[in-house]
Structure 1
Amino acid sequence: MAYLALTTFLTSALTLSHFNHGARATSEVLDDDELCGRGLPTIPFNRTALTTIGPYSYDPSAWNPWTHRPYCIEANEEPWCVYTNAASPKGHGISIITTPGIAGSTLNILQHPFDQQFFAPEKLYLPRPYKVVDILGKGKGVVATQKIDKGKAILVDHASIIAAAEYPSDVMREEVQDLLATAVHRLGEPEKVLRLSKKGREKEDEGATEIEDLLLTNSFTVGIQGKEFIALFADLSRFNHDCKPNAFIYFSETTLAMTVWASRDIEPGEEISITYSAAGLPSKERKETLEKVWGFKCQCSLCTSSPEVIKESDDSRAQIRAYQASIPKLAQDGKFEEALQQAEHMFELVEEEGLTDQMSDMYEYPARMYYHVGNLEKALEYTLKVKREIDGFGVPGKYGQEKLQAMEGIIRRLGKEIEVKKEREEQFKKQAKMRGKATRMVMNIPQ
């Protein structure tokens, strides 16, 4: 989780600061007059800014797409730097904390980072269908101002801070704090990050700065081209946790943005919630994770229910996990009927537990199994569900588009096979009727 990774980073830096004095910053925090094109359109991506020329160049043309000369600290293997574009996305800016090597090999997706939408634009509500309000016992929260239909995009929030999850262990904590402070203050709108609520969290580390505490309580772990990063989304941080949320989040590597989707219909005045933990965990593990990682005790409707209700929910979620393990194995063993019975029951439990965020992968198994047992109608029913899930919740990047096209092809093929099947059944009925008529004529049976 993001908190654990960042805590390890900060703790390592603090421990070594008592005896390691060799690492030092390689550049000063720049004044406004040293910015490169702040507020202007970003010009094409220049990988040499991250590899050959690196953070030490004073030529602004070599920094693109960054608006500042990278701010770095030295480490044993390679520098650890802050790369900032203060103008994009949408003016609030983005800072990325990583090494030049990782930046050059992994973050080349930033060549066109903010003009590629991974969702269907008409699915996004504009203006935003919610407001940020004070919620008793939670601090700030998000409440719907209108009815939000299932499958609608509520928010698209680009990351403000992205930091690689693997950190140097040979730097002083003060220098780490400088990196974090530089990453925030160089943003186009640093106040969006600085004004984030602590959400009631008490600092576990009195030596932590305000910015460290903000990152500890507001960051998510994301994957970018096979590497793990932590990311802070200023607007997303206002959405509170619920163990039975009415919305879910999806991170796009293409846009470096997190989208909040409605997983069911949401009524005006209802708080919009997401889950901060793995949804399938039992209550005890969820509570421990939320306290350890996010620093608060969950007070959602499920966690404050009676012991009987909590146990019933835990049993259902345990059964869902068991089905997720057993269904593929039964299918591999050719036990399709048993696998399908389990799948149908699993979907009932998933619905009851409110875990119906993105179910396209779950629907694929029964679609395939019904096809194997010759039930083309049920195979088509579940394939259509897969398509509706992908299409309804947006198409996440190239993979989603290819998957959607594949589903459309399968649907057409199944439709044709069902037509052929019906024609054969009709032909069989006609032939059976003719045989019956011929038999009656031979036996001189009245019509």
Structure 2
Amino acid sequence: MAGPEHHLVFPMRLLSIFSFSIHLAWALQTTCPNPLLSPLSAPLRKSPLLVDDDSTSFDIPNLPWTHEPLCSTSFSTIPGEKFCVFSSSSYNLGAGVSFLTTPETAAGLVAVINRVADQWADRRHFKPQEEIQHPDLPYAVISIPGKGKGVIATRKINRFETIMRSFPAIIADNAFFPKEEEDEAGVKFKVTEGGTRKATPAGGPDGSKGFVKGRRYYHRALEQLGDRQRVLNLARSRKGEMHVLEDVIRTNAFGMTINGRDCKGLFPEIARMNHACDPNAFPRFTSKDLVMSAVATRDIMPGEEITISYIPLGMPSSYRAKSLGNWHFNCSCALCTAPPEARDASDSRRERLMELFYAMQDSETQYDALIDWTREFIELAQVERLITKIGEYYQVFMKLYYDKGDPESAKKYGQAALYFAEIFSDPEGGFCTSLREDLQVVEKVLAETKAKAA
């Protein structure tokens, strides 16, 4: 029905919502349960505060960095491109934050870092729980047998309620995390964008063996924090193989995109939440303040453990087990320990969801079949409690019904998609922004159709 001037632009990444590949960067992102959403991007501001190790003066008014940057051009294949360690030890009431990123990205974050000081009215959400348990908080951090530290509800938490909020301790560009491979002799080495660096046999005083590329930068980023224990208290999965900070980041970090660059963000309080394949909470990043929040996906009862997913949601059990290999544990959540009949039934529903998702997008699909498959898809997704992915699904449904000449249904699914997207993703991020733009296109077509019929 729409003319050529009205197009809904849907990113190709949505075509792989049910892709079960485990060879992507998800394996390095402990708490990035839904990397297929639009990138969580902190918008850069135009800033003259472009500071690096060549700057003639570091004493610039309103500059949040409390240490001179440590920079190198060896992390990039782009000639002259620098990556630096930028730290503010006064950030987050003295807990501090370090960025391992480019000077351009750091300059764009200056306004965000400075503005945080005005957003500390409700500090109870941010207090490190190892220090004190606030009686008015809905959760407590405790030791859980077989899991180390974990988070439990201290009262009933309502669906969609914000449980916890956390400022970052570290945000690092993925350039600092090269892939590991082995040569023919079985010797591990790292492959970086700038070349290959083999492991060295000697260990260091920080407990790391080999993989010296970047160790100096990890060490500087950690040492310049105001509260290093906030990071060092977190779990590690590969002790002795790399610098302690790299290990902590690889084990606990969230995936995000800042200024178009893939990064890992370490939010220590949220990182205390353990994994479940059917979690009751979801981590949401907001770019305006660089805060990661945990939002309840359903009602949580007092004494119940609060969990998030470390892997993309919606995968069958065999794929989940492979994806969790990076953390070296066997999942014991209710979904994974259910009786075989129940697990098989869940796997069948998830595999059927994948089949439906691709069948619906076939250009030969008839409108009546689309309606039937949409109804079946939604019912299956509800049974599997994939509520955090509903925004993604409904955005795709909006496009499908729009292309079939049904803008009324497209608008309905678009509005529902935006409702859930604003709960579980950054309201100012790319996903919500694209949804609003798509809805405007649909509403314009509807208005033009009504005007012609009048």
**TM-score, structure 1 normalization:** 0.69
The AA in structure 2 aligned to 1:97 is L
The separation in 1 between residues aligned to 2:73 and 2:394, in whole angstroms, is 49
Q: Could you say if the C-alpha distance between residues 353 and 3 of structure 1 is closer, same or farther in structure 2, counting changes exceeding 3 Å?
A: closer
In the TM superposition, residue 244 of structure 1 has moved relative to its aligned partner by 0.6
The separation in 1 between residues aligned to 2:93 and 2:352, in whole angstroms, is 44
Q: Could you say if the C-alpha distance between residues 58 and 191 of structure 1 is closer, same or farther in structure 2, counting changes exceeding 3 Å?
A: farther
The separation in 2 between residues aligned to 1:3 and 1:350, in whole angstroms, is 22
Q: Does residue 392 of structure 2 align to residue 361 of structure 1?
A: yes
The separation in 2 between residues aligned to 1:346 and 1:249, in whole angstroms, is 25
In the TM superposition, residue 86 of structure 1 has moved relative to its aligned partner by 1.8
The AA in structure 1 aligned to 2:290 is L
Q: Does residue 114 of structure 2 align to residue 83 of structure 1?
A: no
Q: Which residue of 1 aligns with 2:228?
A: 190
Q: Could you say if the C-alpha distance between residues 296 and 340 of structure 1 is closer, same or farther in structure 2, counting changes exceeding 3 Å?
A: same
The separation in 2 between residues aligned to 1:252 and 1:339, in whole angstroms, is 35
Aligned partner of residue 90 in structure 2, secondary structure: coil
Aligned partner of residue 376 in structure 2, secondary structure: helix
The separation in 2 between residues aligned to 1:66 and 1:139, in whole angstroms, is 34
Q: Does residue 354 of structure 2 align to residue 321 of structure 1?
A: yes
Residues 28-52 of structure 1, C-alpha deviations (whole Å, 9 max, x = no match): xxxxxxxxxxxxxxxx9543314xx
In the TM superposition, residue 267 of structure 1 has moved relative to its aligned partner by 1.8
In the TM superposition, residue 68 of structure 1 has moved relative to its aligned partner by 0.5
Q: Which residue of 1 aligns with 2:207?
A: none
Q: Could you say if the C-alpha distance between residues 81 and 264 of structure 1 is closer, same or farther in structure 2, counting changes exceeding 3 Å?
A: same
Q: Could you say if the C-alpha distance between residues 109 and 169 of structure 1 is closer, same or farther in structure 2, counting changes exceeding 3 Å?
A: same
Q: Could you say if the C-alpha distance between residues 358 and 90 of structure 1 is closer, same or farther in structure 2, counting changes exceeding 3 Å?
A: farther
Aligned partner of residue 310 in structure 2, secondary structure: coil
In the TM superposition, residue 216 of structure 1 has moved relative to its aligned partner by 2.7
Aligned partner of residue 388 in structure 2, secondary structure: coil
The AA in structure 1 aligned to 2:345 is E
Q: Which residue of 1 aligns with 2:341?
A: 308
Q: Could you say if the C-alpha distance between residues 306 and 84 of structure 1 is closer, same or farther in structure 2, counting changes exceeding 3 Å?
A: same
Task: Kindly report which structure 2 residues correspond to 1:25-424, keeping only aligned pairs within 5 A, or say none.
Answer: 46-50=48-52, 54=53, 57=56, 59-61=58-60, 64-73=63-72, 75=74, 78=80, 80-98=83-101, 102-104=102-104, 106-114=105-113, 115=115, 128-167=137-176, 169=195, 173-174=211-212, 176-198=214-236, 201=237, 203=238, 206-291=240-325, 293-329=326-362, 332-333=363-364, 335-367=366-398, 382-393=413-424, 396-397=427-428, 399=430, 400=432, 403-404=435-436, 407=439
Q: Could you say if the C-alpha distance between residues 405 and 90 of structure 1 is closer, same or farther in structure 2, counting changes exceeding 3 Å?
A: farther
Aligned partner of residue 244 in structure 1, secondary structure: coil
Residues 395-438 of structure 1, C-alpha deviations (whole Å, 9 max, x = no match): 521542674587589689979999x99xx9xxxxxxxxxxxxxx
After superposing the two structures, state which structure 1 stretch, 71-80 or 175-184, moved more: 71-80
Q: Could you say if the C-alpha distance between residues 47 and 228 of structure 1 is closer, same or farther in structure 2, counting changes exceeding 3 Å?
A: same
Aligned partner of residue 47 in structure 1, secondary structure: coil
In the TM superposition, residue 90 of structure 1 has moved relative to its aligned partner by 4.9
Q: Is the 8 A contact 1:252 1:397 kept in 2?
A: yes
After superposing the two structures, state which structure 1 stretch, 280-289 or 88-97, moved more: 88-97
Aligned partner of residue 361 in structure 2, secondary structure: helix
The separation in 1 between residues aligned to 2:323 and 2:397, in whole angstroms, is 32
Q: Is the 8 A contact 2:360 2:370 kept in 1?
A: yes
In the TM superposition, residue 70 of structure 1 has moved relative to its aligned partner by 0.8
After superposing the two structures, state which structure 1 stretch, 70-79 or 161-170, moved more: 70-79
Residues 92-132 of structure 1, C-alpha deviations (whole Å, 9 max, x = no match): 2221113xxx331x444303215489x9x99x989542111
The AA in structure 1 aligned to 2:378 is F
Select the structure with the greater relative contact order (CA < 8 A; seq sep ≥ 6): 2
Q: Is the 8 A contact 1:56 1:70 kept in 2?
A: no
Task: Kindly report which structure 2 residues correspond to 1:15-26, keeping only aligned pairs within 5 A, or say none.
Answer: none
Aligned partner of residue 387 in structure 2, secondary structure: coil
The AA in structure 2 aligned to 1:238 is R
The AA in structure 1 aligned to 2:64 is P
The AA in structure 1 aligned to 2:65 is W
Q: Is the 8 A contact 1:243 1:275 kept in 2?
A: yes
The AA in structure 2 aligned to 1:70 is P
The separation in 2 between residues aligned to 1:279 and 1:394, in whole angstroms, is 15
The separation in 1 between residues aligned to 2:330 and 2:410, in whole angstroms, is 43
Q: Could you say if the C-alpha distance between residues 73 and 388 of structure 1 is closer, same or farther in structure 2, counting changes exceeding 3 Å?
A: closer
Q: Is the 8 A contact 2:86 2:98 kept in 1?
A: yes
In the TM superposition, residue 193 of structure 1 has moved relative to its aligned partner by 0.6
Residues 271-324 of structure 1, C-alpha deviations (whole Å, 9 max, x = no match): 111111111222122112212x22222111111222322222222111112222
Aligned partner of residue 322 in structure 2, secondary structure: helix
Q: Is the 8 A contact 1:129 1:146 kept in 2?
A: yes
The separation in 1 between residues aligned to 2:260 and 2:73, in whole angstroms, is 25
**Structure 1 gap segments, 5+ residues each:** 7-43, 425-447
After superposing the two structures, state which structure 1 stretch, 163-172 or 318-327, moved more: 163-172
Q: Is the 8 A contact 1:57 1:69 kept in 2?
A: no
**Higher Cα Rg, which structure:** 1
Q: Could you say if the C-alpha distance between residues 392 and 253 of structure 1 is closer, same or farther in structure 2, counting changes exceeding 3 Å?
A: closer
**Percent identity between the two aligned chains:** 28
**TM-score, structure 2 normalization:** 0.68
Q: Is the 8 A contact 2:284 2:426 kept in 1?
A: no
Q: Is the 8 A contact 1:84 1:95 kept in 2?
A: yes
Aligned partner of residue 339 in structure 1, secondary structure: helix
The separation in 2 between residues aligned to 1:5 and 1:367, in whole angstroms, is 32
The separation in 2 between residues aligned to 1:334 and 1:249, in whole angstroms, is 35
The AA in structure 2 aligned to 1:144 is A
Q: Is the 8 A contact 1:3 1:217 kept in 2?
A: no
The separation in 2 between residues aligned to 1:161 and 1:294, in whole angstroms, is 20
